[in-house]
Amino acid sequence: MSSKPRAPATRASSRNKSVTPVPTTTRTTRAASSKATLSSSQSSEPALKKSTATRKPLLNRANSPDAKTPAAATKPVSGNPTFLNISSPRDVPEDADREPIKAYLRIRPQLGEAEPSSQPYLEPLSDTSVRMSDHSSSSSHSRMSSINPSSIFTFSHIFPPEVQQSDFFNKTTLPLVRDLLEGQNALLFAYGVTNSGKTYTIQGGSNEGSAGILPRTLDVIFNSIEGLHGDGRFRPVRLQGVELASESSERNSFHSTGASSSLPVLVDVLDDLSPSSASSAVDTDSTALKLDRNHEYTIWLSYAEVYNEKVYDLLASVDTSAISSPSSPTPHARSAIPRPTSAFLNLPLPSSKSHPLLLTRKALPVKPCPSSDIEGSSADGNAGKYVAGLRQLRVHSATEAKELLRLGQLHRRVFGTLANSQSSRSHALVTIKVLRVHRGERNDPTSIQTSRLTLVDLAGSERTKHTHTSGERLREAGNINKSLMVLGQCMETLRANQRAVARSLAGGVTAGSRMDTRDVKRGLAIVPFRHSKLTEVLMDYFVGEGRAVMIVNVNPYDTGFDENVHVMKFAALAREVCTNPTTTVARVVPVPSKSQAQARDSSVVPHRRKVTISTGGPGRKVSEAHLEVLEGEILRSAGTCVLMTLPVEDEEPNEGDDNGDNSDGPINPLVDALFDEIENLRIQLYESEMRCALIEADTREEVMLEMEERMQSMEKMFARRLTREVERHEAKMDAKIDMLQRSTFMGKGHAHRVGSDTGATGSDVVTEDSHEDEFESSATGRDADYESTTSEDESYCSSKGRGRGRASSPLAGKSKKQSNLQLSASDEISGNSEDIINISSDEDDSDVLSASVEDSKQPTSNTPKGRSSKIGMKAQTPLAKAKHMLSVAPSPIFEADVKAGRAKANFRGSKLAGLQQSMDELSLEDDPDDSTVIIPNRKARQEAVAHGGPGVEYVPGKGEVDMTKKRKR
């Protein structure tokens, strides 16, 4: 929907200024005004160099009768979050001629379902304040981050998501357009992270009524100057200068080769890829401003981009022959579409669409303006900087201007696609220049007023950390961030300087006294405009004349909270910087020589890249073009037969510097070098972080594979072991069954024999001690065969009545393999005698077999009461060995001893022989060195060791002193 005329709205603009034409007699010069207001720009150049300028008194704004309240007063907002006041500081008086940068916030709407529908982190509180809260932030995040999870920011005005493009334009840009037509400079820049709506705000969308502020600005300008077009006798040069157009006609058509319009051009080749101009033709803004009809106006357009810290002219390859010619000033007759040419390489354009198109561009230097451009500028006057060689083309209608911009936009897109197909990676600067002259003085060049409005679409300010860029993209992002960082630093320094000046004024000027401005200047910091191309190009707006407006675009849905907080803080900073809007009158300067002008055709530096340009979207055909570009040679592209050369990045020395003013030496080379170093280190850091991440990922994968292998091998090993164990246990089980059978048989036989001999009554409960005592007492004069022991490593089976015998292992583990075989045999002869065999075999697992053979019906043996024997063995051998031991354990020795009452020596000898045999049996073929035979009786143990040979070792019981060691000692 096209906008209706908004004259009343215009008058009621926030600037509250009537549309009063500025008298042509105004002679306020920037140099003069900058001195009068003590522009802090003076600190940005080697400006602190000695000046012969007369001392000017500085007015204390606080004392000034027409002192104004700062425009952006902060409204108190309820709630307790951090309150960031973005208004100008009240404690510092401000310069009356200056006004702070306006900052407008535009909140992007949520677009469709494709976008995340999380809770937006921006909540408008009023027209000027907004609360920003990070809903996703955890307490740990807030602890670690310096960013407060909830902050309130104030702006000059906040535009909600539903705001119409026309309303937005009227509030933010229309006052600047009026200023422009009245001879004042203005700057508007859109700042925000990627995908926040900057381009939409500046250029607009494709729907009806969605035209951005740039096309609307052109509409309003041409609507307003209808019938007031000048003859174009003069044209603008550099920043503020003008020159006779007739003298520069050759230069004006510099890029024209006179090629026929039937030749293929980039627009033709990529026509279906570029947005249609048809919709923009309908979507026009009909607002017209009321102007002084005594003036004539000519409008000039330039379109540059700053990419990777280099400035390029997006209209460099436009064929201007179709646009305008000073010799035929009938503007409305010209509606030809501007066409690109191949003039840069001086190569002929192809004759048909099937032939390649050559397109090239090169970086342009940024140079200081000669002070002669400004009337009355002094030797130390700061005349700003301009982009040398940037074309300024005259446009006669809004349609023509839009077509030109479309072409420039196409070039930006083509070259931008080389860099990044997703997002604008360059800062785009469109400058509209107005030359205004009074009808009565149209032949007097000194009466020409030059004013300009620059609209800047800044590149997204996202951080490399979040975008995971690398290589060329990282360099790009680094340069974007660098230029934005420098912009912030410039603002910070400007603010500090302005505060310093204001403090000096407040503290140093008493009523009627005067202050030496040079004293104040000396204390000001250098503003680092030179550290980035963007700030260099824009510096004139901050330190010269003109108003500045900042549009902060925020997408509260899918972009990072932290990044947007930085954007907000930047806006807060910008709003504390004041600019100096005044009116400028230019002066005519000599035209540069032809040779100087032609010197721009420098050689092309080869470079190679690939381009894929795609378009499409809802309701539009999706199409793609693939270009392969090799500069210096001509390559046929894959899809469209379009050939291009790539940007040439060499800068021309001295070009465009008419006065040979090359005094733009580094302000401080050390600072420059440090800046570069910081940037390099930042990039290196990021790259090394990326490398670390890759290495970590690789290592993790390797470790994972290794672990997997190990686990597999362990699984196999355990499977094997399990099988072995099963087999072994089967064998054990067989052995045990065997033993049980055997012991039952033997026990019966033994009991029978013993019982018949002794006929003694047995005791029901016998402990080892009692057995031993009884044995000692009954076998008078004999040593006990087995000494009872109550030590902890020996336990005895105890039987109680008909109860079960239990024997815990008395064996001190000596075997490394923890193989334990315990055999305990109790031969108890009592009335209720029991033969208890307790075998414990313990290797990895514990396998205890308690065999209790109860035979209450057995006759009591006549063996001395309480006699018991115990043999404990610990071995790592299979149980088959134990089986043999068992057969030995209830040795007939006992019977012989008891019955015949043989001497102790006999008994010992037999027993030792039996033990020896047992040990031989337990020779443990598998591991002969790792076997233990445990003999509870100490003496028997000692003897066994004495006769056991070299492999037998004495192991003292718990609490027992190792005599061998003692002896050694």
Residue 617 Cβ, how far from ligand ATP at the closest point, in Å?
A: 8
Nearer to ligand ATP, 108 or 865 (CB): 108
Nearer to ligand ATP, 275 or 831 (CB): 275
Q: What CA–CA distance (Å, rounded) separates 520 from 498?
A: 10
Residue spans of beta strands (DSSP E) within 891-938:
932-934
Residue 165 Cβ, how far from ligand ATP at the closest point, in Å?
A: 8
User: Which 3 state secondary structure label does DSSP give 586?
Assistant: strand
Return all residues near 792 (Cβ < 8 A) that are at least 6 apart. 958, 959
Residue 716 Cβ, how far from ligand ATP at the closest point, in Å?
A: 56
Nearer to ligand ATP, 304 or 323 (CB): 304
Q: What CA–CA distance (Å, rounded) separates 868 from 805?
A: 13
Nearer to ligand ATP, 198 or 251 (CB): 198
Nearer to ligand ATP, 196 or 637 (CB): 196
Judged by CB under 6 A, which of 21, 89, 109, 275 binds ligand ATP? Answer: 109
Q: At what angle do helices 213-224 and 165-172 cross, to 10 degrees?
A: 60
Residue 158 Cβ, how far from ligand ATP at the closest point, in Å?
A: 13
Does residue 111 touch ligand ATP according to CB under 6 A?
yes
Q: What CA–CA distance (Å, rounded) separates 722 from 80?
A: 69
Judged by CB under 6 A, which of 13, 63, 257, 423 binds ligand ATP? Answer: 423
Tokens of 635: 């390559």
Residues 197-256 that bind ligand ATP (CB under 6 A): 197-200, 205
Does residue 120 touch ligand ATP according to CB under 6 A?
no
User: Which 3 state secondary structure label does DSSP give 256?
Assistant: coil
**Interface map 511-550 toward ligand ATP (x if CB under 6 A):** ----------------------------------------
Q: What is the dihedral of CA 320, 321, 322, 324, to 10 degrees?
A: 80
Q: Per residue in 288-298, is it b (16+ CB within 10 Å) or e — as a string?
A: bbebbeebbbb
Q: What CA–CA distance (Å, rounded) separates 406 from 274?
A: 8
Residue 517 Cβ, how far from ligand ATP at the closest point, in Å?
A: 42
Amino acid at 873: M
Is the separation of the CB atoms in 395 and 258 below 8 Å? no
Residue 558 Cβ, how far from ligand ATP at the closest point, in Å?
A: 10
Q: Is 194 annotated for ligand binding?
A: yes
Tokens of 177: 């357009």
Q: Which stretch binds ligand ATP (CB under 6 A): 194-202, 472-480, 684-692, 781-789?
A: 194-202
Q: Per residue in 202-241, is it b (16+ CB within 10 Å) or e — as a string?
A: bbbbeeeebbbbbbbbbbbbbbbbeebbbebbbbbbbbbb
Nearer to ligand ATP, 194 or 454 (CB): 194
Q: Which stretch binds ligand ATP (CB under 6 A): 196-204, 324-332, 395-403, 486-494?
A: 196-204
Residues 164-193 that bind ligand ATP (CB under 6 A): 192
Is the separation of the CB atoms in 2 and 286 below 8 Å? yes
Residue 707 Cβ, how far from ligand ATP at the closest point, in Å?
A: 44
Nearer to ligand ATP, 204 or 544 (CB): 204
> CA nearest 955: which of 795, 837, 815?
815
Residues 443-462 that bind ligand ATP (CB under 6 A): 459-460
Q: Kindly report the CA angle at 821 between 739 and 894, in degrees rounded to 5?
A: 60
**Residue 735 burial (CB count, 10 A):** 21
Residue 199 Cβ, how far from ligand ATP at the closest point, in Å?
A: 3
Residue 607 Cβ, how far from ligand ATP at the closest point, in Å?
A: 24
Judged by CB under 6 A, which of 108, 255, 452, 533 binds ligand ATP? Answer: 108
Q: Which stretch binds ligand ATP (CB under 6 A): 15-23, 105-113, 935-943, 946-954?
A: 105-113
Q: What CA–CA distance (Å, rounded) separates 883 from 870?
A: 16
Q: Is 192 annotated for ligand binding?
A: yes
Q: What CA–CA distance (Å, rounded) separates 208 from 256?
A: 35
**Residue 680 burial (CB count, 10 A):** 11
Nearer to ligand ATP, 123 or 268 (CB): 123
> CA nearest 541: which of 579, 571, 495, 573?
579
Q: Is 198 annotated for ligand binding?
A: yes
Return all residues near 387 (Cβ < 8 A) that are at least 6 apart. 304, 311, 313, 364, 365, 366, 537
Does residue 424 touch ligand ATP according to CB under 6 A?
yes
Nearer to ligand ATP, 342 or 553 (CB): 553
Judged by CB under 6 A, which of 194, 397, 483, 869 binds ligand ATP? Answer: 194
448 to 225, 374, 390: CA distances (angstroms)? 16, 12, 21
Amino acid at 751: A
Return all residues near 430 (Cβ < 8 A) that are at least 6 apart. 214, 301, 302, 303, 405, 408, 454, 455, 456
Does residue 124 touch ligand ATP according to CB under 6 A?
no
User: Which 3 state secondary structure label does DSSP give 578?
Assistant: strand
Residue 166 Cβ, how far from ligand ATP at the closest point, in Å?
A: 12
Residues 543-582 that bind ligand ATP (CB under 6 A): 553
Residue 112 Cβ, how far from ligand ATP at the closest point, in Å?
A: 10
R_g over Cα of the chain: 51
Q: Is 612 annotated for ligand binding?
A: no
Nearer to ligand ATP, 110 or 257 (CB): 110
Is the separation of the CB atoms in 156 and 72 below 8 Å? yes
Nearer to ligand ATP, 618 or 781 (CB): 618
Return all residues near 930 (Cβ < 8 A) that are at least 6 apart. 815, 816, 817, 819, 876, 924
Q: Is 330 annotated for ligand binding?
A: no
**Interface map 594-633 toward ligand ATP (x if CB under 6 A):** ----------------------------------------
Q: Is 197 annotated for ligand binding?
A: yes
Q: Kindly report the CA angle at 539 between 537 and 540, in degrees rounded to 5?
A: 100
Residue 478 Cβ, how far from ligand ATP at the closest point, in Å?
A: 16
> What is the distance of C-alpha 613 from the center of its chain?
27
Does residue 841 touch ligand ATP according to CB under 6 A?
no
Q: Which stretch binds ligand ATP (CB under 6 A): 90-98, 108-116, 303-311, 739-747?
A: 108-116
Q: What CA–CA distance (Å, rounded) separates 915 from 8?
A: 125
The pair phi, psi for residue 932, each rounded to 5°, is -135, 130
Nearer to ligand ATP, 108 or 482 (CB): 108
Residue 532 Cβ, how far from ligand ATP at the closest point, in Å?
A: 18
Q: Is 901 annotated for ligand binding?
A: no
Q: Site for ligand ATP (CB under 6 A): how many residues?
A: 17
Q: DSSP secondary-structure letter at 592?
A: P
**Interface map 290-319 toward ligand ATP (x if CB under 6 A):** ------------------------------
Nearer to ligand ATP, 115 or 773 (CB): 115
Residue 417 Cβ, how far from ligand ATP at the closest point, in Å?
A: 12
Residue 181 Cβ, how far from ligand ATP at the closest point, in Å?
A: 27
Between β-strands 449-457 and 620-630, what pairing exists: parallel, antiparallel or unpaired? unpaired
Nearer to ligand ATP, 465 or 965 (CB): 465
**Residue 64 burial (CB count, 10 A):** 14
Nearer to ligand ATP, 459 or 485 (CB): 459
Judged by CB under 6 A, which of 196, 426, 431, 645 binds ligand ATP? Answer: 196
Binding residues: 192-199
Binding residues for ATP: 192-199
Which residues are near ligand ATP by CB under 6 A?
108-109, 111, 192, 194-200, 205, 423-424, 459-460, 553
